[in-house]
Structure formats: structure tokens, C-alpha cells
Homo-oligomer: A and B are copies of this chain.
Amino acid sequence: MPQYDLPLAELQRYRSSATPPADLDAFWTRTLDAAREVASPPKVQPVDSGLSVVEVSDVTLSGFDGEPVKAWYRRPAGVTGDLPVVVRYQGYTGGRGLPHQVGPYPLAGYAVLEVDSRGQGTGYGWVGDTPDPHGHGPSYLGGFMTRGLLDPEEYYYRRLITDAVLAVDAAQQLPGVDPSQVVVAGISQGGGIALAVSALRDDLAGVMADVPFLSDFPRAVVTATAGPYPEIAAYLASHRDHVDRVFATLAYVDAAVLVTRSTAPALFSVALMDNVCPPSTVYAAYNAYAGDKQLRSYPFNDHEGGQFHQEAEQLAWLRQLLHP
């Protein structure tokens, strides 16, 4: 796969053409207030993961409309003090996985809350356990991108982002967590969600967004050749009369729109041969991000991005940022 997107110099100054809805802040304030009103504290249940150096608990937290969202809470075994916590969101189709599917953050001494994505959880062996108890109108092959796409109130990502914001509320209430040191993180969909959360909270210690999805829909939908963005193009290829309504909805969850409100320090990564999240759409979010920010670029990678090299970058960045 070649580097097919804009030349680097143009990427570095590229801005999305997405228009912020007039009521964007009101929309999210109202949405989050409603969810918090019916929220209850997280339930935490230790499980036998088969592991001995990491403790794993099954968490049920309150998400959109008070609906239960599953997560794994992991900590280094035998550590008693309050730890910084990484709240991690999943890539498209993935779920929280099995108890023993442990990423690098808990091994580096942090607490981690690995949050399920409602309705998803069959991709790449990352199973999930959280239902999405909301139906929807006609959609493309049932893909998540097009569920409720005609109305911001009904859109799937309104619920998923709300779950993600409230997962931070829950993380702050977990035993053994330092609530002033929460970092949100994720790859692809998880990275887009983390960026959205960063715009909807002012109490985060940091944000890590790798090859983030959900950014700059007007360009993404006509540029990406793989992954979930083409679901929207496919929907509009049939529902040719819904173009304006669709992009009006998408503007409410577009990271490139939201992150002008973000304040936490952020570490981004981008892959210059990425067909799923085109580099221009990642730069659209990065260039618009209002907080301190750094970007790691991987010129020869497709959507796998920096993988383990980026993990190493993140461990170093977290070490400087946090105080475990």
C-alpha cells in the first residue's frame, strides 16, 4: 500500500471542513446530565483470571440511561496504595476480552479499567459482554456506524461516548484509584472515543489516541477504503436522500469538532499508509486539539499503526506524566 493521502506538508496544516452544530455543548451537557442522574456506583467483583501477578475484577458501571456497561478492573497484584488509572476503550467490533487478556499498562504499575463497547464484542477474538438495548431503523448490514444515524439523539455513538465519559466517573470511584490521575486511551475507535471524552471532561490527566477513528467525517467517508467509515458511504449509496441529515448527526460525535474543547495533555499516533483512518483525518483531530499535544508518525504502516513501538512510547510518556 502506498502513501496515498495528502503530502506531509499539507497534512501538517490540514483542517477538517466539518461544521460544529450550534447546540453542540448543550447537547452533550444535557446527555451527560441525564445519564449521571440515573447512575449508580460501580459494582466490583474479583475473578480468577488464572493470573497471579495481576488482580482482575469484573466491573459493572452505569452508562447511557443508567444501563449496565461491563469492564475489567486490573491492578498489579499486592499493591495497596492508590494508583493512577488508565481508562481504555476498544477498537471497532472488539470487546473487553477475557479476564486474562492483559495489555501493558497494568504490568507497568497502573490501574486499568478496560471498558466494553455496548453491542460490540466479536472482533479479532476480543469478546464482549455488554448489550445495547436500543433498536434502530434501517441500517447498513446492521453495522454500528449507521444505527440511528438520522438523529443525533438516537445515534449509537451518543450512547457509546456517554458510556465512555461515565466510565471515568466509575474509575474515579474504584477502590485503589487516585481520582486526580485518570488517563483515557484507545486505538482506532478507542482513540476516537478517548478524544471525545477529553472534550467532555476537564479533569483528565492525559489522553492517548492511536490512529483515532471518528474524526473528520466529511473527508473520512470519501477517502477511507477499508474499515467502518465505508459503512456510512454504503448507507448513503442506498439512502441517497439522507446525506444532509447524516452529516448533521455525525458532527455531534466528530472528534475533529469536539477536541477544540480539550485541555489535557495528549499523545497521538498516526500511520501514513492507513486505509481505515486516513492520515488526513487523524491530522484533522491533532491540528484542532486545544491542549498540549505530541504526535508520533509511522510512515510505513497501515492501520496497525505503531503497535508495540507505540506502546513503548506510551509507557515512557506515562512515566513522565503520572506519579504512581
Interface residues of A (CB under 8 A from B): 1-3, 50-54, 76-77, 93, 95, 97-98, 100-102, 104, 106-109, 119-144, 146-147, 221-225, 230, 233-241, 243, 272-273, 298-302, 304, 306-309, 311-312, 315-316, 319
Contacts and interface: CB of A to CB of B under 8 A. Distances in A.
Contacts of A121: 137-139, 238
A123 B108 contact: no
Contacts of A127: 138, 238-239, 308
Contacts of A136: 119, 131-133
Given A107-B102, A142-B141, A122 B235 contact: yes
Q: Which of A51, A128, A272 has the most CB of B within 10 A?
A: A51
A150 to B, nearest CB: 11
A276 B149 CA distance: 29
Contacts of A319: 50
Contacts of A126: 238
Nearest to A298: B240
A93 B119 CA distance: 19
A17 to B, nearest CB: 12
Given A240-B309, A315-B50, A1 B225 contact: yes
A205 to B, nearest CB: 18
Chief secondary structure at chain A's binding surface: loop
7 contacts: A52-B108, A95-B138, A100-B104, A101-B308, A127-B239, A133-B136, A243-B300
Contacts of A230: 1
A191 B5 CA distance: 30
A298 B100 CA distance: 20
Nearest to A229: B2
A221 to B, nearest CB: 8
Contacts of A304: 125, 237
Nearest to A3: B222
A119 B98 contact: no
A107 B237 contact: no
A315 B49 CA distance: 9
Contacts of A234: 122, 300
A207 to B, nearest CB: 19
A93 B101 CA distance: 23
A13 B157 CA distance: 39
B54 A100 contact: no
A108 B236 contact: no
Contact of A299 (B1, B140, B222, B235): B222
Given A50-B316, A50-B319, A301-B240, A135 B141 contact: no
A138 B128 contact: yes
Contacts of A2: 222-225
